[in-house]
Structure formats: structure tokens, C-alpha cells
């Protein structure tokens, strides 16, 4: 039965006990009530004055029920309108956290996903063949393993770097959120499963480094995308290592240096291997200081991840190599790069400067150049202040500006929440923490679509994302725990061009498998979401 979009939206999972609790109304109600499962009114409130919300195109009113702190299951009502049922509890996001993390196992390539761990989303090992080095048809290299990037089966170095960075940062900042087994094949109740899972991707990343030069191949894919109805194990086309790129090599150096640090207490040899690979990649960077941005070779039409600027990736690499080794040569190179003008706070796959800044700040002022440390810390807090100010103007309390409803806008929502949580970490200002949580409420249903953007979570959730296994597997429920890309006002696929002309930016989304520009999934849209949810996850 087709879902009738509700005019009262909430976080469809729920709210932490002591957190701010707001529902968003799109009808001209004046008052609202909250009822418990017995139908008893447990809270009454008045709605805010109406706000014309340009991003959603709606007239918005808000109902604040923060005072309701009794654990339970509730629904917001106003007249005949009702919200989804949701919980108020000490730790409402434990299961969500588990599902978001488990998704990385379900993205795995190169091994049988066994039924006892993957359930109905099991499949045989895929893409196990050697890859051909583009331009060297007789040079074949081992290539298997890692995570599929997204709704396609490509594997892309810069995308992998962001995904691993977010997960390792989540573990670094919130280790108590990772005390439970997922479980995965490597579960040993010693090393946290999130580290086992990232190591599965890191083990593949090692294969992306050219053992001759230290440079890193930009991606490993077939020449063209396979059909949408092709299961991974049925995708038998030749695999190609695309040419080395500076952005892949620098982000590889960064993530390997980060991994060397994080894994050292668990596996000193693996840690050493990561550091050596990072330094070998840095050798290539030092010899290739002026390189054109990656472009797909003419025969290859899979994802490009083009990026003409590699200064931010080099900045990130120096920060991580310095934080891991303490070697002043990296610090000096970091300071030199930092003098240049580029975005030092973004956490994207294109703009990764934020990771370099976080590595430098988390390394501590005692290890830093004082004035640079202060300037980067002040800059981060100023970024967070801007996000709060924008959120306060927004009908759905998030920080996306009109021109940020782009491909992967939900990644921006979660990246912004990460920035807010780091600003909270460095200042203790709970305004930042509270705003980060409002961003999670948007992803889990408090949006103009009354839709949870995470498969398997929420009573009205994404069901038809652009994800080949979910389309081809003849299982009704899509692979769970996957975060959809979200609204994209640029209408960049045939389906939305046909159906969404003239919509407000936040309305430019459709839960249809053909809409890869609004409804695909990727490892690096899941990873910032894992980071954000980890902030509210309690240890077992
Ligand atoms: O960066 C500009 C920004 O400055 C500008 O304001 C904005 C609005 O014009 O556009 C921004 O560029 C967009 C860019 O994503 C932002 O990162 C481009 O329009 C948009 O085309 C680009 O889309 C990327 C898409 O591939 C097409 O290249 C997505 O970020 C990226 O997530 C997506 O990645 C694909 C892989 O290629 C293949 N695997 C699936 C994956 C997800 O769809
Ligand atoms: O499935 C592909 C998805 O992973 C990419 O993000 C997207 C943009 O590169 O392309 C998708 O593949 C489509 C192709 O671009 C056009 N023909 C239909 C393909 C499947 O939707
Ligand atoms: Zn595969």
C-alpha cells in the first residue's frame, strides 16, 4: 500500500532522553499533543510561528516536546494528523549503529558473503580475477578484496580513504561505541570489529599501490558499469587498474599513516606495513609535485572521482605522517602547504582538508606550531558557528544551503554533523552537539519526504535505492543499513529529469532504483553517519 506522507515528521527511531525534541509540521496546526502507547496524552504544546522554508518549499511550524523525558514509545498528534511512533530512551541508536556498520560487511567484494552473517543478502565471491594495468595489457596484478564503492562494483581509492578515515576517527573518538561484535568472519573479541572491517578495505588498498613507483592507481573497475540487474558474482568483465593519480596517492599516504597509528596496539607488523606504504607513496608525491587531475581514459566510463586540486590531499598526508611519526620533516611540509589557500575544513571525497586539520588539532598544541594550531582551531569553530546559524534559519534544522542540495547531499548533512561534533569536542559547547543531533533526525525521517534515508530503519524508509545487489537479488527488502545519497537539485539522471522538474531543492529526491543521482548508496555516505551515531552509542 502506498505510504501517505505525514504532515508531522520526527526522527522515526527516536530521541535520547535529555536531548532537544522537535517535530516538524507542514499543516497550519496551532497546538499538538504527544501520546503514549496507551493513547494517553503525556504532553501538550503550542506550535512555533510559521516559517517559509525555501529549501523544502513548505510553510513549517515546529513543536518542541523536549520536556518529555520519560522513557517510552510515543506519537505526536495534531487534529487528525499523526507522526510515526518513536522512542525516547537512554540510547535509542544502538541498533542503527550496528546496522550502519554491518553494511560494510555487506559491501564486501572478493569473498563469499555467508548466509549466517549476510542473511538473505548472501552472495558468492566476486571480482576475484587479477586486474589489468591500463596501458600495460600484459601487466596483471592481484586485485581482489575491499568494499564495492556504492551501487556499482567499482573500487575507488579516494572514496575508500574517506570511508576508512571516518570509521577510524569514530573509533578513535568513541571507542566505547565499538565494544560489541558485529559479527564478521574476523570477530575475535579482542580487536574491535570496526578495525577488522576497515582492515579488509586496507588489505585491498595495498594492492592499489604500484610497487615500482609508490604511486597509487586511482581505481579498479570494469571498463563500463554492468547492468543494474547484475549480481556481483555475475560481473565477469575484465578489471582494470586506472592510471596513478596524485589525489589517490596522497589520500592513500594519509589513510595508511592513520592506520599505522590506530592498528599499532593490535598488530605492530601490520602497522609497520601501513607506515612503509604511506612513506613509499610520499616518495612518489615528492617526485610528482605538479600533476594533472585524474580523468577517465577514453575506454573507461565508470565513476571518475575527478579532482583537479591535490593540495588538500597532500596537506592531509603530511598531517597524518607527522602525527604518526613525529618526524619534523612532515611537520615542516605541512606548515608550508597550510600557508596556501584551500578549504581546510571540508570532509568530502573531493575536498579532504578537514581531515588534515583534524589530524593536526588532535595531535595536540604541544606538537604544533602555536599560531597555526590556533588559526586552524578558530577556523573550525567558525565553520561550526556558520553551520549552527544556517540550521537555525532552516525549517528542518539542518545546515544545507540551497546550493548544497547536490549529489550526495546526505553526505554533506553528516559531514556537517561531524564538524559540529568536533567543534563540541574542542570547545565543550553543547550548542554544537545539539545541532549535530538535529542533522541525524533529518536523515532518519524528519524531512520533507517523511522518509528515513537508511534502508531497514524507520517505519517509512528508502526501499528502492540504486544498488545492484538489491535490484538483482530478488529479495524484497533492500540490503539494510545503507544511507541514500539524498536530494540533488541538479537533476542529474534521466529519471529525475523526467519527474522532478521545478521542485524545491530538498524535494529533488525519489526513492526509485533508476535515480542514481539522488538514491544511490556509498561507503562514504555510510561512514560519516557511523561517526555521528557513534557519539550517542553507549558501551555494552
Ligand atoms: O563540487 C561542486 C560544487 O562546487 C558546486 O557548488 C555543486 C553545485 O553545482 O556541484 C559540485 O560538484 C558535484 C560533485 O559531485 C560534488 O562532490 C557535481 O555536480 C556532481 O556531478 C558530483 O557527483 C559525483 C558523481 O559521482 C558524479 O561524478 C558524486 O559526488 C559522487 O558521489 C558520485 O560517485 C559515484 C561514483 O562515481 C561511482 N560509484 C557510485 C558513486 C555514488 O553515486
Ligand atoms: O550505476 C551507475 C552509478 O553507480 C553511477 O553513480 C552513475 C553515474 O556515474 O552511473 C550509473 O550507471 C548508469 C549509467 O551512468 C547510465 N546508464 C545506466 C547506468 C545504470 O543506472
Ligand atoms: Zn565484487
Q: What is the pLDDT of residues 231-242, one digit of tens each?
A: 999 999 999 999
225 within ligand 2 shell (Cβ under 6 A)? yes
CA atoms within 13 A on the CB side of 406: 6
Residue 500 maps to a domain: no
Domain C-terminal end among 66, 92, 118: 92
Q: Are residues 306 and 414 in the same domain?
A: yes
Ligand 2, residues 230, 296, 516: which to mutate, most atoms within 8 A of Cβ?
Answer: 516
Ligand 2 nearest atom to the CA of residue 152, by list position? 4
* Proportion of the chain in helix, strand, coil states, percent, rounded to 5: 40, 15, 45
Residue 493 maps to a domain: no
Q: Are residues 217 and 266 in the same domain?
A: yes
Residue 306 maps to a domain: yes
Q: What is the dihedral of CA 487, 492, 495, 496, to 10 degrees?
A: 40
**Distance in Å, CA 142 to ligand 3 centroid:** 13
Q: Are residues 162 and 274 in the same domain?
A: yes
Q: Are residues 120 and 105 in the same domain?
A: yes
Residue 454 maps to a domain: no
CATH code for the domain of 84 = 2.60.40.10
Q: Are residues 79 and 119 in the same domain?
A: no
Q: Is the pLDDT of residue 523 over 80?
A: yes
Cite the active site residues: 152, 466, 511, 520
Q: Are residues 34 and 116 in the same domain?
A: no
* Range list of β-strands (E), 310-412: none
346 within ligand 1 shell (Cβ under 6 A)? no
Q: What is the pLDDT of residue 506?
A: 98
Q: What is the pLDDT of residue 3?
A: 76
**Distance in Å, CA 488 to ligand 1 centroid:** 10
Q: How many residues appear in the chain? A: 540
Confidence of residue 4 (pLDDT cuts 50, 70, 90): confident
Confidence of residue 359 (pLDDT cuts 50, 70, 90): very high
Residue 487 maps to a domain: no
Q: What is the pLDDT of residue 279?
A: 98
Q: Are residues 52 and 170 in the same domain?
A: no
471 within ligand 2 shell (Cβ under 6 A)? no
Cα–Cα dist 432/445, whole Å? 21
Domain C-terminal end among 65, 92, 119: 92
Q: What is the pLDDT of residues 280-330, one digit of tens each?
A: 999 999 999 999 999 999 999 999 999 999 999 999 999 999 999 999 999
Q: Are residues 40 and 167 in the same domain?
A: no
Residue 120 maps to a domain: yes
Residue 480 maps to a domain: no
Q: What is the pLDDT of residues 477-516, one digit of tens each?
A: 999 999 999 999 999 999 999 999 999 999 999 999 999 9
Q: What is the dihedral of CA 107, 108, 111, 115, to 10 degrees?
A: -40
- Structural domain boundaries enclosing 111: 94-447+519-534
Q: Is the pLDDT of residue 144 over 90?
A: yes
Cα–Cα dist 461/459, whole Å? 6
Cα–Cα dist 320/324, whole Å? 6
- Pairing type for strands 72-78 and 86-89 reads antiparallel
Q: Are residues 41 and 132 in the same domain?
A: no
Cα–Cα dist 143/153, whole Å? 13
Q: Are residues 81 and 113 in the same domain?
A: no
Residue 136 maps to a domain: yes
Q: How many structural domains does the chain have?
A: 2
Domain C-terminal end among 92, 110, 132: 92
Q: Are residues 380 and 238 in the same domain?
A: yes
Q: Are residues 116 and 68 in the same domain?
A: no
Q: Is the pLDDT of residue 2 over 80?
A: no
Ligand 2 nearest atom to the CA of residue 150, by list position? 4
Q: What is the pTM of this model?
A: 0.98
CATH code for the domain of 136 = 1.50.10.10
**Distance in Å, CA 511 to ligand 2 centroid:** 16
Q: Is the pLDDT of residue 95 over 80?
A: yes
Amino acid at each position: 500500500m502506498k505510504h501517505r506522507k505525514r504532515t508531522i515528521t520526527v526522527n522515526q527511531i527516536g530521541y535520547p532522553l535529555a536531548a532537544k525534541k522537535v517535530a516538524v509540521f507542514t499543516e497550519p496546526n496551532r497546538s499538538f499533543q504527544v501520546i503514549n502507547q496507551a493513547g494517553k496524552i503525556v504532553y501538550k504544546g503550542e506550535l512555533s510561528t510559521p516559517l517559509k522554508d525555501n529549501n523544502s518549499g513548505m510553510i513549517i511550524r515546529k513543536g518542541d516536546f523536549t520536556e518529555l523525558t520519560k522513557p517510552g514509545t510515543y506519537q505526536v498528534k495534531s487534529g487528525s494528523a499523526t507522526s510515526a511512533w518513536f522512542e525516547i530512551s537512554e540510547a535509542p541508536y544502538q541498533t542503527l549503529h550496528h546496522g550502519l556498520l554491518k553494511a560494510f560487511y555487506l559491501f564486501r567484494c572478493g569473498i563469499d558473503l555467508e548466509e549466517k552473517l549476510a542473511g538473505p543478502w548472501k552472495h558468492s565471491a566476486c571480482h576475484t580475477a587479477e586486474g589489468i594495468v591500463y596501458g600495460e595489457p600484459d601487466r596483471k596484478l592481484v586485485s581482489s578484496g575491499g568494499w564495492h564503492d556504492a551501487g556499482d562494483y567499482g573500487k575507488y581509492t579516494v572514496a575508500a580513504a574517506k570511508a576508512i578515515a571516518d570509521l577510524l576517527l569514530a573509533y578513535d573518538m568513541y571507542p566505547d561505541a565499538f565494544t560489541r561484535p558485529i559479527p564478521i568472519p574476523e570477530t575475535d573479541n579482542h580487536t574491535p570489529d570496526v578495525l577488522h572491517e576497515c582492515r579488509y578495505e586496507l588489505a585491498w588498498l595495498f594492492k592499489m599501490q604500484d610497487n615500482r613507483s609508490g604511486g597509487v592507481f586511482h581505481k579498479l573497475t570494469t571498463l563500463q558499469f554492468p547492468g543494474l540487474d547484475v549480481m556481483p558474482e555475475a560481473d565477469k568483465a575484465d578489471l582494470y587498474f586506472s592510471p596513478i593519480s596524485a589525489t589517490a596517492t596522497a589520500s592513500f599516504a594519509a589513510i595508511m599513516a592513520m592506520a599505522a597509528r590506530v592498528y599499532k596496539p593490535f598488530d605492530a607488523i601490520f602497522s609497520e606495513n601501513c607506515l612503509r606504504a604511506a612513506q613509499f607513496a610520499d616518495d612518489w608525491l615528492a617526485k610528482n609535485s605538479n600533476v594533472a587531475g585524474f580523468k577517465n581514459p577514453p575506454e573507461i566510463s565508470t565513476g571518475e572521482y575527478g579532482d583537479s586540486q591535490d593540495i588538500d590531499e597532500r596537506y592531509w598526508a603530511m598531517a597524518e605522517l607527522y602525527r604518526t611519526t613525529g618526524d619534523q620533516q612532515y611537520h615542516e611540509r605541512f606548515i608550508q602547504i597550510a600557508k596556501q589557500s584551500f578549504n581546510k575544513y571540508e570532509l568530502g571525497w573531493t575536498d579532504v582538508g578537514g581531515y588534515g586539520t583534524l589530524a593536526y588539532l588532535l595531535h595536540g598544541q604541544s606538537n604544533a606550531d602555536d599560531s597555526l594550531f590556533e588559526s586552524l582551531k578558530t577556523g573550525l569553530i567558525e565553520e561550526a558557528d556558520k553551520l549552527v546559524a544556517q540550521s537555525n534559519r532552516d525549517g528542518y534544522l539542518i545546515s544545507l544551503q540551497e546550493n548544497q542540495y547536490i549529489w550526495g547531499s546526505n553526505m554533506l548533512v553528516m559531514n556537517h554533523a561531524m564538524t559540529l561534533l568536533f567543534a563540541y569536542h574542542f570547545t565543550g559547547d553543547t550548542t554544537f552537539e545539539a545541532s549535530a543531533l538535529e542533522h541525524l533526525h533529518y536523515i532518519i525521517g524528519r524531512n520533507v519526504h517523511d522518509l528515513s534515508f537508511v534502508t531497514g530503519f524507520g517505519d517509512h524508509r528508502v526501499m528502492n535505492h540504486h544498488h545492484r545487489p538489491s535490484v538483482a537479488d530478488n529479495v524484497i527488502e533492500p540490503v539494510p543499513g545503507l544511507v541514500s545519497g539524498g536530494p540533488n537539485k541538479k537533476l542529474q539522471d534521466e529519471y529525475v529529469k523526467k519527474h522532478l522538474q521545478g521542485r524545491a531543492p530538498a524535494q529533488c529526491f525519489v526513492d526509485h532504483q533508476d535515480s542514481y543521482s539522488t538514491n544511490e548508496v556509498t561507503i562514504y555516505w555510510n561512514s560519516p553517519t557511523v561517526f555521528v551515531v557513534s557519539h550517542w552509542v553507549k558501551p555494552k
